[in-house]
Structure formats: C-alpha cells, structure tokens
A and B are shown apart, each in its own frame.
Chain A
Amino acid sequence: EAGVAQSPRYKIIEKRQSVAFWCNPISGHATLYWYQQILGQGPKLLIQFQNNGVVDDSQLPKDRFSAERLKGVDSTLKIQPAKLEDSAVYLCASSRDSYYGYTFGSGTRLTVV
C-alpha cells in the first residue's frame, strides 16, 4: 500500500510569514496525527483527528497553529505567523484502527529565519 504522503519536503520562510503543510494519509485510515519534531527531540503530538473530527488538540498552539481535515481524508496544518522556535520537522501519521498500525510520513522540514 502507498505510504503517508507529505508536502513540501522542505520550506524556508521568514518569521511572521505564514506556511501550510499538506498530508495525504494511507487510504482507509480513519485516524490522522500531526507531530512536531524539534532537532534532537522526539516527536511531540500537535493534533489528532478521527475522520474529520478533532480528538485531541491540547498541545496545539492555537494562537498561531491551525489544522483541518476536510472529508476525513487529506489534512493541512497551518502556521500564521511563524516564529523562529517553530523551526522543526512536521510529521504526519495515520492509523486504521489499531495502536499497532501507526505509519508516519517523511515529514516537512521547516526553517524559520
């Protein structure tokens, strides 16, 4: 089966600009996750969707980050305005219906200058 697709792979923006990331999960996977991974750290969950509804967004900085998952398939994560500390890799993951089947994409590396 095809993996989790993310784009773009790399993005460089200036602080205070906005940026959006796109994720296409594995077909049939109901649960979608966005993680932020700062260099040298493990991934940190930002938001979790079940179909097109939000299950958990407790760690999402809602003053600048937003995410949506229209029609329960693709998802976009947006940052507006970006700060220097947002520089990280943004990972998307999806799962069908089990803890066992958690598949990550390759991520988008964001650099804020």
Chain B
Amino acid sequence: LAKTTQPISMDSYEGQEVNITCSHNNIATNDYITWYQQFPSQGPRFIIQGYKTKVTNEVASLFIPADRKSSTLSLPRVSLSDTAVYYCLVGPPFTGGGNKLTFGTGTQLKVEL
C-alpha cells in the first residue's frame, strides 16, 4: 500500500475552513484515497473517498490534483466537535477477499473558540 505523509497536528478556530494535506507520491493507478476521522474513545469513522478531481459530501470535500500524488481534505466552517484525529489512507478498492486498511499516525486537529 502507498505510504502517506500528513502533518502531525493542526490548530484552528471555530468557523474557519481547515485544509489537511496528505502526500502519497507512490500512489498506484488503481488506488483510491480515503479519509477517516477518529474521536477519543471511539473507532475511526469514514469521512470521504475519491479517485481524482473533487468529491464533496455533507461533511467534507476532497481535492485530488491530476497527478494524484497528494490530496487535501477540506472541512468547511469547523466547530469544536471537529476536534479529532484525521487519517489519510491510500489503497486499492475491494477485490473480493476483503481489503485491509493501513493507518499512519494521522493529523490531530484541535479547534478552539
């Protein structure tokens, strides 16, 4: 699986837009990019997944440039409840035998008033 690099921590204030960038220089042609969110004392939760260009859902947007060597998770107007660890994962889609996710250390986002 492609190795990912993301900042260890980020700070923000309520109402601001937060952009977390992930580098994945060795991404393979059939790899997808997926972001998970983890609150203390909970398991990771799926946020968004994409292959190229831009993907948007009710929670976040994911921007992927043409070369796909990086991606940016964008959280609009964050609130205190967005304080969590955010993981960027890269890997192929399900291929029939299940697909294991490999997590890095993630980015600790802290949102303040």
Contacts and interface: CB of A to CB of B under 8 A. Distances in A.
Interface of A: 4, 30-31, 33, 35, 40-45, 48, 50, 55-56, 91, 93, 95, 97-107, 109
Interface residues of B, number: 24
Contacts of B92: 99
B13 interface: no
Contact of B102 (A31, A45, A95): A45
Q: Is the interface of B mostly helix, strand, loop or mixed?
A: loop
Given A91-B43, A106-B42, A42 B103 contact: yes
B1 to A, nearest CB: 11
B94 A97 contact: yes
A45 B106 contact: no
Contacts of B94: 95, 97-100
A106 B100 contact: no
